[in-house]
A and B are shown apart, each in its own frame.
Chain A
């Protein structure tokens, strides 16, 4: 908020200075008028500021700013304060509401009021206000982000939101994840529902570059993902000895979910790059788990602090687009030796293609460096597939020869990497055959034919001459 105020202040000063500057020629006019003008300019500045606020999620600044947090119980605000504070300290503006608050509204006049939504309300059967499953999904489909924490006794509402995104919580409402192998060692023996999980996804983009040393404490329900679903990722998997069942009753049938196919925390990146985190445990985010020491069963390593804080913070950075958000700009292509982009290429032309790719670091666009960005020259199938070289400053570049096939081609960059937003660039460009005067005039192999025709012509001329004048 402080940042905003300073901004307004700067705007005010700049505007007023401008108006003063304007009023230089009319120095004699009354100061009242000047005041009026300056008020008007302030108003305009405010409005423009409002406008920029409403458009804060833009391609230029992909990080979310305003987040709605829906809670079952306002006590969560204090019991999970470390997590919330870390968000606020990173510049997010959190709006806490009870999930059955009748005033909840995600959008007003067709504009979304928030860029992110945190659902820490696992037991809510019905949201207040106009919010329902469809509204939440529309929110995601318009590119906004979502964190959902379920828990034992998660409501159908939460389950259906998750299912719509491809995350299937265990259908048995009383089941929780039990792990007799890698539970967190505590003072009492317990029922091994507090799990110390350390099977993280291996991705620096999702979980940051510093390795999470301590296991993450988890207590809640598990979910499964459809392996065919390419949009969801297991971030935290259960160990092979885990299973999902009701700890209080005896296990009569084999558990529906078991082993490492149980996902504890998953992320979803929709096709429009909206991101969502689904956790089976609300306690994962709690201050208690953040601070608690952890020792995994069967392991001698005892950590003073669980990995939860690091895990959750890094994950929240990813989900709110502070990391792993790519943009591609300045797509350029031209013939070798030229700078202007032609409207059409000819077959066998040599061309150069370049694109700049940047990654959002949370505050600015940094050059994205990788050696696996490929460009396709594509017409129904790729005719050219080439890895682009980079100058490490974001510029990717490739040069190749247009194939000897004419048609409407596309420059395609399909860059999908784990954790990164998907880049999908396609630029249409027609390729024409040779013009009538671009072929070689004389082909060496055809010289016998040239010789034949010219000698025939000469012979005919001599023949006519001889025939006509031989008498």
Chain B
């Protein structure tokens, strides 16, 4: 839309036209920023200004620590309140980009005497950075296809639902800043590629450093850019600009990446980074070849080529052999689990239950594509086609980007986030091109109708302006040094394209209707995005709401439970729960947890999983050995909250069984079915998780014990806890907290026991007779 106004604001004086266009573009960008920020505020308006979900709570806690203790203490922070008793070296295991960003923002605001709390800054970090991301998208797309495409892409990105889902106010997670860093790095790469300027190349490696600081997804960059370089070399598009865009990035980028504690030597030791080094070697070989080609005569060159190719092949074979050897001997067998699951989508679910158990590591479904990128899905192919006419270095990069990210998003739903900017850029290009064609046709006919005489003069003039503008973007911008040299080469294709370019003119009715329909399409996109931002993605997930006929119900059980813990337990007490709630417990209740969402130690998680799947006594012993005082379970059976621990229970069994083989998944399934009703297996009904979830549950509905999530009556209704005691259950029973009973003060003698055991044994005998299922 903006593109059309910009391009059609044709004035006789091109400088005036440029100036007004630039001012217009500036204000449009400003508005895009406001849009990107404000569309993400639904969560604050509808709920409150709180941190969302799980990981953001950890980031928030880290940021609090940073603002209190400073950067060095943060760097060296050994956290003894999580992963008890192992502890966690936070400074060395966390991507510090987000935290440092928010911490700096807070510090700057403090210095300006704007007394915002750390929490407020954290809540609004993501919306602010999505505005930045929109602007970065503008810059990137501008480099590829011009200002119009840039503005359109920026608008689309400002409200693409996929990105909104991760960056609403309160969603204080790495992705919030990482997407901006990703796009900005790509922009600087393209910028360097187009200008060949070392300045931008340096900036590029700094942006890459910021990305490495922010998110593990930086490996996408360090694989995508080498791929593009390789593509350029293979398609004969090698140029010194490519070299300048790539070589400094690898060297500086790798050096700086190694400075980030969490990456460290991984930057040169894991195979995710090897592609960049391989391409680094290749580009040098190619550069040498081009150099030699320049100084030798064609004949000599042919001789040299045969010589070099034969020698080069040998060297390459040696290098490949070395690389394979290094990969095979590197600590993680070359590839880390998460990366392997990218290449082989079934890898994780086969071998690593802890990765497979996370819902965002699952492959997405088709509807989720429509939900997350909406009409962009249809516009992307058009954008790809537009990128092919003409194919430049920049547009080939964008094509590669969308192809790769489309593949990865199909593997892991979380990577939809990387796909969304690419889709926005492509759709921006497509829409902009479409608007270009439609408005040009309409203008062409309009001029024709007004002044038939001037048609012949206007249209080519218009045409020249168009192509001129495009060339301005597409042409290989020479750096100052070799401006003169390059000018000659640049002028030739310019003249050529002028001759070849024939403007595509459509019938005016068709273009008017098409224009209308395109605007309508855009409008649908806006409607969908606003709906997604307002309804689908704004729930903070620690406060839940439901609409019924009686009105709005708010379920604030999580905070109720955490507040109870923080007020009623000793500050050094250990709370065990499934790892999902670890971050929240440490951040909101300030209590030590056994495992949390940073799933770095599988054995420890498996220990908790085993305890949850064991009978009461065994579980008590496991928890007691870990000094656990309280056990927290999330239970949704009363209000129908479906992501509760019973639904996650099979994962606990699987993860526990992966390390402790006495826990076997089939013991918890009846004929392969997971059930908690009267048909459930005795192992299931005796497991700690079942007991803690359904203890006293039967009292809530007068003896039926109807679980609203599973939609059945529970299997075992009346039972007592021997080793645990209930200490707190929230209002809607969503969180239940149990305390480990202390060891018995006395040990009973036999006489009493033998009597009772006799009685119980006779009881069980009668039961077995009655119950045909045993």
A-side residues, CB < 8 A to B, are 137, 140-141, 159-160, 162-169, 171, 224-226, 229-232, 268, 270-272, 274, 344, 379-380, 406-410, 428, 430-433, 435-436
Closest B-chain residue to A170, C-beta based?
B751
The residues of B that contact A163 with a CB separation of less than 8 Å are: 748-752
Q: State the main secondary structure of chain A at its contact with B.
A: mixed
Which B residues lie within 8 Å of A168 (CB)?
749-751
CB-defined contacts of B85 to chain A, threshold 8 Å: 379-380, 407-410
Residue of B nearest to A164 (CB): B748
What 1/0 flags go to B74-97 for Cβ under 8 Å of A?
A: 011010100011110101000000
Chain B residues within an 8 Å CB radius of A432: 76, 78, 87, 89
B749 with A167: CB separation less than 8 A: yes
How distant is B65 from chain A, measured CB to nearest CB, in Å?
14
10 residue pairs bridging A and B, Cβ less than 8 Å apart: A141-B746, A166-B746, A168-B751, A272-B745, A379-B85, A379-B86, A406-B78, A407-B87, A433-B78, A436-B76
Alpha-carbon distance A231/B744, docked complex (angstroms): 11
The 6 closest A-B pairs by CB, nearest first: A432-B78, A430-B80, A408-B85, A163-B749, A168-B749, A435-B76
Q: Are A430 and B78 in contact (CB under 8 A)?
A: yes
* Choice from B86, B748, B752 contacting A407 with Cβ under 8 Å: B86
B269 CB to closest chain A CB (Å) equals: 16
Which residues from chain A contact B75 at a C-beta distance below 8 Å? 436
Judge whether A164 and B749 touch: CB under 8 Å: yes
What separation, in Å, do the CA atoms of A435 and B74 have in the docked complex? 11
Cα A163 to Cα B86 in complex, Å, equals 42
User: Do A231 and B751 have beta carbons less than 8 Å apart?
Assistant: no
Task: Check if B748 sits within 8 Å of A166, measured CB to CB.
Answer: yes
Which residues of B pack against A, CB within 8 Å?
72, 75-76, 78, 80, 84-87, 89, 91, 261, 572, 625-626, 743-752
A195 smallest CB distance to B (angstroms): 22
Give A163 to B75 CA distance when docked, in angstroms.
Answer: 59
The residue that A166 contacts in the complex, of B78, B626, B749, with Cβ under 8 A, is B749
A226 and B746 in contact, given A408-B80, A436-B75 (Cβ under 8 angstroms): no
How many A-B pairs fall under 8 Å by CB?
87
What's the minimum C-beta distance from A178 to chain B, rounded to whole angstroms?
21
A436 to B74, CA, bound (A): 11
**What are the residues of chain A within 8 A of B76 when measuring CB–CB?**
432, 435-436
CB distance from B494 to the nearest CB of A (A): 35
A315 to chain B, nearest CB (A): 19
Q: What are the residues of chain B within 8 A of A270 when measuring CB–CB?
A: 745-746
Is the CB–CB distance between B749 and A226 below 8 Å?
yes
A344 and B78 in contact (CB under 8 A), knowing A163-B752, A407-B87? yes
The residue in chain A whose Cβ has the minimal distance to the Cβ of B84 is A408
Question: When chains A and B are docked, how far (Å) is the Cα of A281 from the Cα of B72?
Answer: 72
Residue pair A408, B747 in contact (C-beta under 8 Å): no
16 additional A-B residue pairs with CB within 8 Å, beyond A167-B749, A407-B86: A159-B751, A160-B752, A163-B748, A164-B752, A165-B748, A229-B749, A231-B747, A270-B745, A271-B745, A379-B86, A380-B625, A380-B626, A430-B80, A432-B76, A432-B78, A436-B72
Q: Is the interface of B mostly helix, strand, loop or mixed?
A: loop
Q: Which of B80, B89, B626, B745 interacts with A140 by CB under 8 Å?
A: B745
Q: Which residues of the other chain, B, contact A407 by a CB distance below 8 angstroms?
A: 85-87
Contact of B745 among A162, A224, A274 (CB under 8 A): A274
Q: Which of B87, B746, B752 has the most CB of A within 10 A?
A: B746
How long is the Cα–Cα vector from A409 to B80 in the complex, in angstroms? 10
Interfacial chain B residues near A165, Cβ < 8 Å: 746, 748-749
Among B78, B89, B747, B748, the most chain A Cβ lie within 10 Å of the Cβ of B747
* Chain A proximity of B251: nearest CB distance (Å): 13
A97 smallest CB distance to B (angstroms): 25
With beta carbons under 8 angstroms apart, the residue of A268, A344, A380, A410 that contacts B746 is A268
- Interface core residue of B84, B87, B261, B626 (most chain A CB under 10 Å): B87
Residues of A within 8 A of B743 (CB): 271
Q: A430 vs B750: C-alpha distance in the bound complex, in angstroms? A: 43
Contact of A164 among B91, B625, B746 (CB under 8 A): B746
In the complex, A230→B746 CA distance in Å? 10
| CA of A160 to CA of B748, assembled, Å | 10
User: Complex formed: what's the CA distance from A428 to B629 in Å?
Assistant: 15
Closest chain A CB from B648 CB (angstroms): 25
A169 to B76, CA, bound (A): 62
With a cutoff of 8 Å between Cβ atoms, the chain A residues found around residue B752 in the complex are: 160, 163-164
- Complex-state Cα separation, A159 to B750, whole angstroms: 12
A337–B694 Cα gap in the complex (Å)? Answer: 55
Q: Looking across the interface, which residue of chain A has its beta carbon closest to that of B626?
A: A380
Instruction: Report yes or no: A226 in contact with B750, Cβ–Cβ below 8 A.
Output: yes
CA distance A232 to B751 in the complex (A): 15
Contact A231 to B746, CB < 8 A, known contacts A159-B751, A163-B751, A428-B572: yes
Judge whether B89 and A406 touch: CB under 8 Å: yes
Chain A residues within 8 Å of B572, by CB: 428
B72 cross-chain contacts in A, Cβ below 8 A? 436
| Chain A residues with CB below 8 A from B748, complex form | 163-166
Closest Cβ neighbor of A142 among chain B residues = B745
Q: What's the minimum C-beta distance from A366 to chain B, rounded to whole angstroms?
A: 28
- Chain B: minimal CB distance from A358 (Å): 24
How many whole Å from A275's CB to the nearest CB in chain B?
11
Contact A433 B750 (CB under 8 A): no
In the complex, which residue of chain A has the Cβ closest to the Cβ of B752?
A163
Nearest CB on A from B512, distance (A) = 63
Report yes or no: B745 in contact with A171, Cβ–Cβ below 8 A: no
Q: Taking the nearest CB of chain A, how far is it from the CB of B424, in angstroms?
A: 40
When distances are taken between beta carbons in the complex, the residues of chain A under 8 Å from B750 are: 163, 168, 224, 226
Q: With the chains together, A159 CA to B72 CA distance in Å?
A: 66
Query: Are A433 and B89 in touch, CB under 8 angstroms?
Result: yes
Q: Which residue of A lies closest to B742 (CB)?
A: A271
- A residues near B751, Cβ cutoff 8 Å: 159, 163, 168-169, 171
A230→B747 contact, CB < 8 A = yes
**Can you name the residue of chain B whose Cβ is closest to the Cβ of A268?**
B746
Question: B743 — nearest CB in chain A belongs to which residue?
Answer: A271
**Given B86, B91, B261, B744, which contacts A408 in the complex, CB threshold below 8 Å?**
B86
Within the assembled complex, what's the spacing in Å between the Cα atoms of A224 and B754?
A: 14
Q: Which residue of B lies closest to A346 (CB)?
A: B78
Distance in angstroms between the alpha carbons of A163 and B747 in the assembled complex: 9
**Residue of chain A at shortest CB distance from B607:** A380
Chain A residues positioned under 8 Å from B80 (CB to CB): 344, 408, 430
Q: How far is the CA of A162 from the CA of B749 in the complex (A)?
A: 8
Q: How far is the CA of A271 from the CA of B87 in the complex (A)?
A: 31
Nearest CB in chain B to that of A274: its residue: B745
- Chain B residues, CB < 8 A from A164: 746, 748-749, 752
Question: With a CB–CB cut-off of 8 A, which chain B residues contact A406?
Answer: 78, 87, 89
Cβ–Cβ contact A137 & B746, under 8 A = yes
CA distance A6 to B226 in the complex (A): 95
Distance in angstroms between the alpha carbons of A392 and B745 in the assembled complex: 32
- CB neighbours of A171 from chain B (8 A): 751
Q: Are the C-beta atoms of A408 and B746 separated by less than 8 Å? A: no
Question: In the assembled complex, which residues on chain A have CB atoms less than 8 Å from the CB atom of B744?
Answer: 271
B78 and A229 contacting across the interface, CB-CB below 8 Å: no
CB distance from B73 to the nearest CB of A (A): 9
Cα distance, A232 to B747, chains bound together (Å): 9
In the bound complex, what is the Cα–Cα distance between A169 and B84 (angstroms)?
A: 45
Task: State the Cβ distance, A287 to closest chain B Cβ, in Å.
Answer: 31
Cα–Cα, bound, A409→B625 (Å): 13
**Bound complex: CA of A166 vs CA of B746, how far in Å?**
7
Which of B84, B91, B744, B745 has the largest number of chain A CB atoms within 10 A? B745
Closest Cβ of chain B to A301, distance in Å, is 36
Residues in B whose Cβ lies below 8 Å from that of A162: 749
How far is the CB of B749 from the nearest CB of chain A, in Å? 4
Distance between B92 CB and nearest chain A CB, rounded to angstroms: 8
Which residue of A is nearest B76, CB measured?
A435
Residues in B with CB closer than 8 Å to A226 are: 747, 749-750
Shortest A206–chain B CB gap in Å is: 18
Query: Which of chain B's residues have a CB closer than 8 A to the CB of A274?
Result: 745
Within the complex, the shortest CB–CB distance from A341 to chain B, in Å, comes to: 16
Minimum C-beta distance from B621 to chain A (A): 13
Q: In whole Å, how far is B292's beta carbon from the nearest beta carbon of chain A? A: 18
